[in-house]
Amino acid sequence: MQKKTDPMYRYRWANLQTLAITGALAALLLLVGSLVLGRTGMILLGFVGAVSVWRASRMAGNLRPADARELRYPEAPWLFDLVERLCASAPIASTPRIYFSASPMMNAMTFGSRQEPAILVTAGLMNSLSEREVAGVLAHEVAHIQHNDLHLFRLAETVRAMTGFLSNVGWFSLFFFFPVMLMSGVAIPPGFIALLFGAPLVSVLLQLALLRTREYAADARAAVLTGDPLGLASALRTIDQASSSPWRQLFGAAPAEQGGWLRTHPPTGERVRRLMELSPRSAGGHSRAWWHYGEILT
């Protein structure tokens, strides 16, 4: 029971799951690549993949909404102080720059790199959440930076794209050489056909599973950073209610939300349940008041 209410246990378990999923993605890529291109082709493809990840990392700092502007300390000192304290607790060497968007959507996101991180908050988020809830959301984003999740996501996307590319190369080669193989009596192994068909789909599912796992890890780490998992749980409920569709409000869940394997984020209800289990009250502790910093940014 103690493990169930220990944020560090949840955090380490999510990291083990991440390692397993990442290993499965790499193994799938190596399997498809070795069958389609052979060893020499895989070396060349590995070089191309490394260059792609490097270029994506270099361009990551420019991936932000067009209306986002960088905030200065006098505009929201409590926000800067909060982020700095969270980064010191993480710890993170480079304090993120803070960007602000006038969008009414309730959203926060991390972009850039671990060396030059940035966090974007929207007007909808800052004007709708309490300071305690904002602290939980920002701790979640700081956790993504600490884990270097953005680099991991870019790496997973590169592996997925390479797996799909190799599968297409395999299909092209199969159809191109099919007359020759037919004339020479060479049989096509059914396992090879199944691999070419299933590898892209499995890589997509593994990538989505990785995204969901890192969200759970960031939630658990945020609970450690703030000592207040209920703050993040409350924020998630508020954001979820604000983004609910009329169908969901009437019937509980929209049809597109039913399938768990195709989600980029875990269901909000499950995230809230896990955070509630990590409540310091249930573990006999006390939460730290991170959120008393002043007025909400307008």
pLDDT digit string (tens) for 54-89? 666 655 555 666 788 999 999 999 999 999 999 998
Q: What does R_g of the chain's alpha carbons equal in angstroms?
A: 23
Is 141 an annotated catalytic residue? Answer: yes
What is the predicted pLDDT for the residue at 51? 72
d(CA 100, CA 38): 49
**pLDDT-derived band at 235, boundaries 50, 70, 90:** very high
Res. 247: pLDDT tops 50: no
Per-residue pLDDT averaged across 287-294, rounded? Answer: 46
Q: What value, to the nearest 5°, has the Cα angle with vertex 193 and ends 188 and 195?
A: 135
What is the predicted pLDDT for the residue at 67? 80
**pLDDT-derived band at 187, boundaries 50, 70, 90:** low
What is the predicted pLDDT for the residue at 115? 81
What is the predicted pLDDT for the residue at 181? 59
Res. 264: pLDDT tops 60: yes
- Annotated catalytic residue within 133, 141, 215, 277: 141
| 67: its two tokens | 């209306």
Res. 142: pLDDT tops 90: yes
Q: Which of 115, 83, 88 is nearest to 99 (CA)?
A: 83
Whether 119 contacts 109, CB under 8 Å: yes
What is the predicted pLDDT for the residue at 132? 92
Residue owning tokens 């940035």 = 118
Record the pTM: 0.81
What is the predicted pLDDT for the residue at 189? 74
Res. 150: pLDDT tops 80: yes
| 53: its two tokens | 């990840």
Q: Considering the chain, what is the average pLDDT of its residues? A: 80
Q: What percent of the chain has pLDDT over 90?
A: 35
14-57 pLDDT tens trace: 888 988 998 998 888 888 888 887 777 677 777 776 776 666 66
Q: What percent of the chain has pLDDT over 70?
A: 75
- Distance from the first to the final alpha carbon of the chain: 43
Q: Which of 163, 159, 183 is nearest to 171 (CA)?
A: 163
> In this predicted structure, which of 191-195, 269-273, 277-281 has the lowest mean pLDDT?
277-281
Residue owning tokens 């573990």 = 283
Res. 168: pLDDT tops 80: yes
What is the predicted pLDDT for the residue at 170? 84
120-136 pLDDT tens trace: 999 999 999 999 999 99
